[in-house]
Chains A and B, each alone.
Chain A
Amino acid sequence: MRRALFALGVLAMVGVAVACSDGQAANTGAGEPMQVSGAQFVPGELPGELPVDGGPAEPEGGAHATLGPLTVAEVDFNNVNVIPGASGKSFSGLVTSDAVAVGVRLAGIGTGYWVVPVGGRDGQLPTTDDFAFSASFDINDPPGNRPLRVVAIDAHGNGGTQLDTELCLEWRIPDNRHECDPANPVPAVVFTLQWDTNFDVDLHVITPDGTDVNPKTNLLAYPVDAGQPPASDPRIDRDSLGQCVPDGWRQEDMIFPDYPALGLYDIYADPFASCGQAAVRFVLTIYEAGSDGALHATFTQAGELLGSSATGGGSTGLFIAEKQFN
């Protein structure tokens, strides 16, 4: 009995020690600002040397004529702009053939990097190998210009010189990419309704003339003769969770590109369909353009709707706030 107790005690202590220690916990990178499909997440800094300011000097005789060891020759993608929560954005590139893998991360944010094994020899540049990966971005990534940092890694884990390629991470609040290019003017006012579960909530805004703008009739002024509505017209940008189809946003925005018509605006949250949820917590935020040319939150109101109060569009729902424009 004594020996059994001793053995049990030893095993329990080992188990508790392992369970409680930090150890090398498995981390699949699920909480990272960028996730790369099929790649391995490695906590820590990228190996290799920090990027050269202004990018690597182009060698004589063309871009890829005489590449140094462990060099990322190029990184290609379709669009420099990354829409919030973008999924499956494609990247590809070339790396010198002494590399077995490339490491990838967003510079300055996140806790580690992703390792992507290189592919086969490039058909046109025999001293380089191809690599390709598909990346997804967290919808709450800090907006603004952010370098995608890539480094070539050899079989011993050594890295070459890192290469930065600028991306524009767009803000989930529609600001006309002002965060990336301050020359872009922000909308004058944005009403943003966000919520926490897959519940079809609709933002309703009753304008001073009594018009109900909502995701189902999302324009304040409709175009004539099937033309395009002017970009300056106020509108609601999307019907999030429409038909209860999850879209990852759980957000609707009423955008006023120009200063709204004067008067009192009533704002409602309509529990259109519960989508099987018992309740939903929401928050309304009003953003207004500041003197610095950026959007700033000027009003916030939170609340809760119950699944049993779903309207199916029969009413404007719960009154949240009113906003007076003078």
Chain B
Amino acid sequence: MFDARFRRVALALGAALLYPGKALAQSPPPPPPPTEAAPGTAAQDVASLRDEVKALRADLDEVRAAQSAGSSPAAATPRPLGYESFWPWVVPPEGLSLKGYLQSQYETHQDSQDQLTQAGTTLNQDRFSIRRARVSLTGEWQYAALALELDANTTSGPQVDLRKAEASLQYRPDRKRPPILMATLGLFDVPFGYELVESPRTRLFMERSVASRAFFPAEPDLGLRLSGALGFFRWTIAGQNGEPLGESSPFVLQDPNAAKDVVFRFGIDTQPLRVLQVAADVSSLRGRGFHGGTAATSATIQWKDLNEDGVIQPYELIPVPGADATPSSNFDRWAVGGDLRASVQSLLGVTKVYGEFTIAQNLDRGLYIADPVVTGVDQRELGYYIGIVQDVTPWGVVGLRYDHYDPNFDAVDKRQGKLLPFSEGISTWSPLAALVLPDRARLVVQYDVIRNAFARTATGVPTSLPDNVFTVRLQVEL
């Protein structure tokens, strides 16, 4: 955007410089008839005019050079079949540039209730909200790069977060392509799988899949990232704190243990045909979760109303001795996954088909939070999704995504004294339709049909709690 504006300004400046030049050459009144002048004076005039022309030509060359410098990177920015690149493969304009977008929405949930939770938060989810209002500043120079992004939203009340703070050194000899080698230190999206690194600005579906949100409640975490693109090959290696933003713990964007989560992502991104783009990656993560210990306590007395009469009896007073502090401990967690996406250009527009799966252990940090120190059993998890997005002319898009998350392979339910295996899986069908003003705005309508195991039937068998979601979102970009 900044680049386009600069281009227009530069063109206007060039035109302004050129136009008066021509005008000056045409508008003066015809010169008076030559008078008898000394030959020396005429030669001086010619020399003066030549100097002036030379100066004008130099100015013109300068303006052309400026125009050329301002426009070339943007023209070179690859836009694979209509879908933008994601970090760290984005090729931003040279110098500083500013971007931003706003997502405002209305949503209604089937399980919404006009009640409060025990913690005092609202159970009503039928509401208007600002889901994301983001401003980003990128800096792109020969050997250095910078990315800053701020997010404001009202999802859990008004709040402002830092979403990206990337300081990078890079080797990018071809300014039209991503860097061959880039080292980034700061706050960046965890490079695991495709959903985490895809910008919410370009993703048409309202949110990431349930599994992705359970494993990574928000995208960014602090750390060091090495990445590079060589031809069609893409690679990323990162070491991060392992306490991403949005995690349900007191250590968000901090790190209670010295071990870092190490993430690998290797893949390809290629366009074998003019109308076909294919990309695929495998990802892995290995790290250490943290189980917090307890502080020492003083001796106390508890009252348990054994006879439920609301009156203290001597035998209802229970002494609770003071307890020593318990130490904290770590536990292993890992995940492996793969993602594949293909985009095909047709007369109708671009068709994008993509999918991803993740197998993990003790990685859930947002939904069924894993802590094998407490349970004594490792929590094995599986998540996957498959989606399709179809352009319908430049002004419309339709899409459908199915995602499934099983937070615990080993879940059991107790009925009639028997432990019965059952699935805690959550499946979601998400059809959507959108109206698009290219590069400016889009209005998206999505309906999530959700199946879970949060309820029981009248015979006590686990069943789905109705919690389908309808969302209308308007996104406008700078």
> Which residue in B110, B309, B310, B396 is a CB contact (below 8 Å) of A25?
B110
Assuming the A-B contacts A11-B447, A26-B110, A119-B417, are A18 and B396 also in contact, with contact meaning beta carbons closer than 8 angstroms in the complex?
Answer: no
Contact with B along A78-113 (1 / 0, CB 8 A): 110111001001000000010011010000000000
B113 at the interface (CB under 8 A from A): yes
A164 at the interface (CB under 8 A from B): no
Are A100 and B432 in touch, CB under 8 angstroms?
A: no
Are A4 and B433 in touch, CB under 8 angstroms?
A: yes
Please, could you name 12 A-B residue pairs with CB atoms under 8 Å apart, sorted by A?
A: A1-B395, A3-B392, A5-B396, A8-B445, A11-B431, A11-B446, A15-B445, A25-B111, A28-B111, A118-B417, A156-B459, A157-B457
- B residues 367-406 with Cβ under 8 Å of A? 392-393, 395-398
Q: How far is the CA of A4 from the CA of B444 in the complex (A)?
A: 11
- B residues 407-440 with Cβ under 8 Å of A? 414-417, 431-436
Q: How far, in Å, is A88 (CB) from chain B's closest CB?
A: 9
Contacts of B26 in A (CB 8 A): none
Q: How far, in Å, is A25 (CB) from chain B's closest CB?
A: 6
A224 at the interface (CB under 8 A from B): no
Contacts of A30 in B (CB 8 A): 113, 115, 123
Q: How far, in Å, is B97 (CB) from chain A's closest CB?
A: 31
> Which residue in B414, B460, B467, B470 is a CB contact (below 8 Å) of A26?
B467
Q: How far is the CA of A118 from the CA of B113 in the complex (A)?
A: 29
Are A153 and B398 in touch, CB under 8 angstroms?
A: no
A226 at the interface (CB under 8 A from B): no
Assuming the A-B contacts A28-B113, A86-B308, are A47 and B458 also in contact, with contact meaning beta carbons closer than 8 angstroms in the complex?
Answer: yes
Closest to B415 in A: A117
- B residues 453-471 with Cβ under 8 Å of A? 455-461, 465-468, 470
> Which residue in B310, B414, B459 is a CB contact (below 8 Å) of A155?
B459
Closest to A7 in B: B433
Assuming the A-B contacts A3-B392, A3-B396, A8-B435, are A117 and B460 also in contact, with contact meaning beta carbons closer than 8 angstroms in the complex?
Answer: yes
A210 at the interface (CB under 8 A from B): no
Closest to A122 in B: B417
Are B395 and A121 in touch, CB under 8 angstroms?
A: no
Contacts of A77 in B (CB 8 A): 308
> Which residue in B123, B307, B415, B472 is a CB contact (below 8 Å) of A12?
B472
Assuming the A-B contacts A5-B396, A5-B435, A7-B396, are A83 and B308 also in contact, with contact meaning beta carbons closer than 8 angstroms in the complex?
Answer: yes
Are B445 and A11 in touch, CB under 8 angstroms?
A: yes
Contact with A along B107-146 (1 / 0, CB 8 A): 0101101010000000100100000000000000000000
Are B460 and A115 in touch, CB under 8 angstroms?
A: yes
Q: How far is the CA of A28 from the CA of B458 in the complex (A)?
A: 14
Q: How far, in Å, is A95 (CB) from chain B's closest CB?
A: 10
A40 at the interface (CB under 8 A from B): yes
Q: How far is the CA of A315 from the CA of B470 in the complex (A)?
A: 54
Are A118 and B416 in touch, CB under 8 angstroms?
A: yes
Q: How far, in Å, is B244 (CB) from chain A's closest CB?
A: 30
Are B459 and A101 in touch, CB under 8 angstroms?
A: yes
Are B397 and A129 in touch, CB under 8 angstroms?
A: no
A31 at the interface (CB under 8 A from B): yes
Closest to B436 in A: A4
Contacts of A5 in B (CB 8 A): 396, 435
Contacts of A31 in B (CB 8 A): 115
Contacts of A8 in B (CB 8 A): 396, 433-435, 443, 445
In the complex, given contacts A30-B113, A97-B416, what are 20 additional A-B residue pairs having Cβ atoms less than 8 angstroms apart?
A: A3-B392, A4-B433, A7-B392, A7-B433, A8-B433, A11-B445, A11-B446, A19-B108, A23-B466, A24-B466, A26-B113, A27-B113, A81-B308, A81-B309, A83-B309, A101-B456, A101-B458, A101-B459, A115-B458, A119-B416
B306 at the interface (CB under 8 A from A): yes
> Which residue in B307, B396, B416 is a CB contact (below 8 Å) of A78?
B307
Are B443 and A153 in touch, CB under 8 angstroms?
A: no
- B residues 339-378 with Cβ under 8 Å of A? none
Assuming the A-B contacts A11-B433, A23-B110, A78-B307, are A117 and B392 also in contact, with contact meaning beta carbons closer than 8 angstroms in the complex?
Answer: no
Closest to B117 in A: A30
Q: How far is the CA of A88 from the CA of B464 in the complex (A)?
A: 26
Contacts of B396 in A (CB 8 A): 1, 3-5, 7-8
Are A157 and B465 in touch, CB under 8 angstroms?
A: no
Are A79 and B309 in touch, CB under 8 angstroms?
A: yes
A233 at the interface (CB under 8 A from B): no
Contacts of B398 in A (CB 8 A): 4, 7
